[in-house]
Structure 1
Amino acid sequence: MKIKHRYLYMLIVGAVILITVRMVSAQNQNTLQDAEMKETSGIAASRINKNTFYVHNDSGDTSRFFAINPNGQLKETFEFKGDAIDCEDIAVGPGPVKGKSYVYLGDIGDNHHERRTIEIYRFPEPEITSTQTAHLQANTYYLKYPDGPRDAETLMIDPVDKLFYIVSKREDSVGVYTAPLNASFTDTISLKLQCKLHFKGLPLLKWITAGDISADGKQILLRSYQDIYYWKRKPGEPVWKAMQAKPQELKHNAEKQGEAIGFTADGKGFYTTSEGKNAPIYFYQTPK
């Protein structure tokens, strides 16, 4: 995220979070160990590479993302041809070929509410082969909101109903939008507003900065700068409807600018991390 007076903003937000967040000791804490990972804004678990997570920087970076291990060590860098503007979240889920998994990188940031379309890049999930840089071919979805441009930092994939989920960031009541995974690459896709969610808290601190749906589609996470929200989904229930129920608020360690959250591949835990060089990466168990 790039805004005017960025560092003053980060200092204020960080100080308030340290005062107000419900602290708990994470089961494991490490740090992102490569200097190139300095504006981390999303994390997602690989489905085919054991103990591997994908992370990425937000605006100002080139068109790329990284594979890391749970200790935050870089495993491989993936570059692609594209004009990424502000990538804010990453997800892994199904795609056009049954039984194969895909990485989805959400170029969905729009601080000034001025983008006519947002983009999601899709890649067949790569196998980790070295610590070098690999080049991937991206397919690009172009999407627009039904109610005008807005900023968002949350991209989720529903593996059950085969839908994209995008949650807006800054409104007092944020919008939950969907689009089908099998949408065309040649047309601009109109997102559907499914519902709005209201979370308590101060402006800025309650902005929604990341989310994830577990690989089996049964669990949902959203995070703000201050809170982490968790839902369990009932069989046959749409994700957006499950999220209208009161969430469980999970205790967690304070992060200066936490903008990433993602389930482990088995759904038994989740990781969080934040912007900044050598940012901490925390692991927590999901509720029983």
Structure 2
Amino acid sequence: MSDGSRNRSDRRSPRRPAAALLLAVATALLPAGTARAADGDGGFTIEDSRITESSGLAASRAHPGVYWTHNDQDGPRLFAVDGRTGKTVATVTLRGVGTPRDMEAVSVGADGDVYVGDIGDNLDGSWDHVWIYRFREPERLADQTVTATQYTVKYADGPRNAEALMVHPKTGRVYIASKNEDGGGLYEGPAKLSAGGVNTFRRIGEVPWVTDGAFSPDGRELVLRSYFSARAYEWKDGRLGTDRPVSAPFQRQSESVTYTLDGSTLLFGSEGSGSRVAAVRVERPGGDAAATGKPSGGAAADSRGTGDDGKGGSLTVGALVLAGIAALWFGARRSRGRRRSG
């Protein structure tokens, strides 16, 4: 089927209602101290009413302080959002690509190009290929239409659902992390993407449930986030190294993560109208702030369970609530799956 013949009716798959209910209940049960920590100073609130499903986030290289985001179930367009005000300063529409199915991730490469991952598959592997769209960051921020290149992507071990696409800031290589309740995989693309054929991504590592990821600007670390947590992996010779927990806010629909351009802060985004992008200072192992870091106002509690409001233990209680509900939900899903296959 040609790209032009794709339509919205065959790509829209409903969000799992159980997952949405889980997240809503878990958020409601979190202690008030955790909510205040997630909405502390730093970060910004997305003001554009058109952005209701912010599924990816990436710091612009050409325009410091500006962040690219997009809806997942939308036409081929991206929004450039000013990190100081939360207001959209440009809407960029892509031509030369088909109708997106499920755009889930965005990353900016060292080459100055923006990479968009149309890689979501809520039916867990129903599509035998997905797409990456690539375009040059505009020199001028204004509403405009740009020509993009479309790449066809397949996985060496078969179709899968994914929400994280990362471009390494030094090598320019593209990576995708798949999403699975029993654990996903990290996939490496070819050294150079080809628009003329299929780009096969091969599994190079095991990762947990992932909703987004980002390389640090120096390329030495990869952060992967999920609905309930985040981890940072040392990046050595193109492979995952030692990992550690990263302080991350609890959000209603935890969807995105990116570094600020200077690498001092991580920004965590969520879906929903008027969603908050929370800022978290980057810390070294052992608790020291990053050498280039500046206090961001502490948008999340630290890993010991003390929020920025000083009330210890609230984050720990919230984490236990979330973990308990998640375990029950995933257990019920597996039980239903066994009954269907029996």
- TM superposition shift of 1:3: 5.4
CA–CA distance in structure 1, aligned partners of residues 100 and 203 of structure 2: 24
- TM superposition shift of 1:4: 4.3
Q: Secondary structure at the residue paired with 1:180?
A: coil
Q: Aligned ranges for residues 52-71 of structure 1 at < 5 Å?
A: 52-59=66-73, 61-70=74-83, 71=85
- Is the contact between residue 43 and residue 262 of structure 1 (CA under 8 Å) also seen in structure 2? yes
User: Of 130, 133, 138, which aligns to 1:118?
Assistant: 130
In the alignment, which residue of structure 1 is the partner of 2:52? 38
Structure 2, unpaired ranges of 5+: 1-10, 284-289, 291-342
CA–CA distance in structure 1, aligned partners of residues 270 and 191 of structure 2: 28
Instruction: State the structure with bigger RCO (CA 8 A, min sep 6), 1 or 2.
Output: 1
Q: Aligned ranges for residues 164-243 of structure 1 at < 5 Å?
A: 164-197=174-207, 199=208, 207-233=209-235, 237-242=236-241
User: Of 239, 251, 255, which aligns to 1:255?
Assistant: 251
1:50–1:249 Cα change, 3 Å: same
- Is the contact between residue 162 and residue 180 of structure 1 (CA under 8 Å) also seen in structure 2? no
Q: Aligned ranges for residues 4-153 of structure 1 at < 5 Å?
A: 4=14, 6=16, 9-16=19-26, 19=29, 23=34, 24=37, 26-59=40-73, 61-70=74-83, 71-81=85-95, 82=97, 83-95=99-111, 101-112=112-123, 113-130=125-142, 133-153=143-163
CA–CA distance in structure 2, aligned partners of residues 53 and 256 of structure 1: 21
Structure with the larger helix share? 2
Backbone CA RMSD of aligned residues: 2.2
Structure 1, unpaired ranges of 5+: 96-100, 200-206
Q: Deviations over 1:131-172 (max 9, x none)?
A: xx2101101111101111110000001123331110001141
1:250–1:195 Cα change, 3 Å: closer
The percentage of aligned residue pairs carrying the same residue is 30
In the alignment, which residue of structure 2 is the partner of 1:98? none
Are residue 284 (structure 1) and residue 280 (structure 2) matched?
yes
Q: Deviations over 1:38-90 (max 9, x none)?
A: 0000000011112111001102x111000001132111000012221110000
Which residue type is aligned with residue 107 of structure 2?
A
Larger Rg: 2
TM-score (norm. length: structure 2): 0.72
CA–CA distance in structure 2, aligned partners of residues 5 and 129 of structure 1: 33
CA–CA distance in structure 2, aligned partners of residues 153 and 262 of structure 1: 14
